[in-house]
Amino acid sequence: MQSDTPSFVTREQRGAVLVLWIDNPPVNALGAGVRAGLADGIANANANPETRAVVLLSRGRMFSAGAEISEFNQPPKPPRLTDLCNQIEASPKPVVAGIQGRALGGGLELALAAHARVSLADVLLGLPEVNLGILPGAGGTQRLPRLIEPDQALSMMISGDPVSAPEALAMGLLDKVVEQDLEAATITYALHMAANGPPVPTRDRRDGFRDGKRFFASIAAARKTQEACPLPGPRRIIDCVEAANLLPFDQGLSFERAAFGELVVTPESQALRHAFFAERRAAHMEGARAKPHPLAHISVLGSGNDAVALILDLLSAGYDVTIVDQDTQSLSEGLEAVALFLSAEVKAGRMPQAEHDAQWSRLYPALSGSDDGEAADMLLLTGPYRARGAEVPAVPVKAGAPIVTLGHLRAGGAQAIGLVLMPATPNGRLAEILIAPNTQPEAIATLLLLLRKLGRRVVQGQNSGVNAGLILALQSSLKTLEALHGPEPVQDLLSRWGMLRDKDGHVPPPSGPVNLWSGLAAPVMGALANAGLRMIGEGTALRPSDIDLALILGHGFPRWGGGPMLWAARRGLMVLRDDLNHWAGDAPEIWSPSPLLDDLIRQGISLGDLNDA
- Catalytic amino acids? 109, 129
Three state DSSP letters for 453-500: HCCCEEEEECCCCHHHHHHHHHHHHHHHHHHHHCHHHHHHHHHHCCCC
Q: Collapsing DSSP states into helix, strand and coil, what is residue 566?
A: helix
Q: Please, which residues have CB within 8 angstroms of residue 504's CB and are 6 or more apart in sequence?
A: none
Three state DSSP letters for 277-327: HHHHHHCCCCCCCCCCCCCCEEEEECCCHHHHHHHHHHHHCCCEEEEEECC
At 405, phi and psi to the nearest 5? Answer: -105, 125
> Sheet holding 116-120: strands in order across?
2-4, 9-14, 17-22, 53-58, 95-99, 116-120, 176-178
> Sheet holding 320-325: strands in order across?
363-367, 320-325, 297-301, 378-381, 403-406, 416-421, 430-434, 457-461
Residue 472 to residue 550: CA distance in whole angstroms: 14
Separation of CA 602 from chain center: 36
CB 516, CB 498: distance < 8 Å: no
Instruction: Please count the other Cβ atoms lying within 10 Å of the Cβ belonging to residue 57.
Output: 22
Q: Please, which residues have CB within 8 angstroms of residue 34's CB and are 6 or more apart in sequence?
A: 7, 8, 9, 22, 24, 28, 68
Q: Collapsing DSSP states into helix, strand and coil, what is residue 578?
A: helix
Question: What is the widest separation between alpha-carbon atoms in the chain?
Answer: 82
Q: 167, 193, 166: which is closest to 178 by C-alpha?
A: 166
Work out the end-to-end distance of the chain between its first and last CA atoms, rounded to an integer number of angstroms.
46
Q: Collapsing DSSP states into helix, strand and coil, what is residue 201?
A: coil
Q: Please, which residues have CB within 8 angstroms of residue 584's CB and are 6 or more apart in sequence?
A: 590, 591, 592, 593
> Sheet holding 163-164: strands in order across?
102-104, 124-126, 163-164
CB 487, CB 604: distance < 8 Å: no
Rounded CA Rg of the chain: 28
At 422, phi and psi to the nearest 5? Answer: -80, 150
Q: Would you put residue 160 in left (φ > 0), alpha (ψ -120 to 50) or beta? A: left
**Cα dihedral 610, 543, 284, 459 in deg (nearest 10):** -170
Residues in the chain: 613
Task: Characterize the bridge pairing of strands 124-126 and 95-99.
Answer: unpaired
Report DSSP letters for 115-176, one per residue. Answer: SEEEEETT-EEE-GGGGGT---TTTHHHHHHHHS-HHHHHHHHHH---EEHHHHHHHTS-SE
User: Sign of the CA dihedral 297, 299, 300, 303?
Assistant: positive
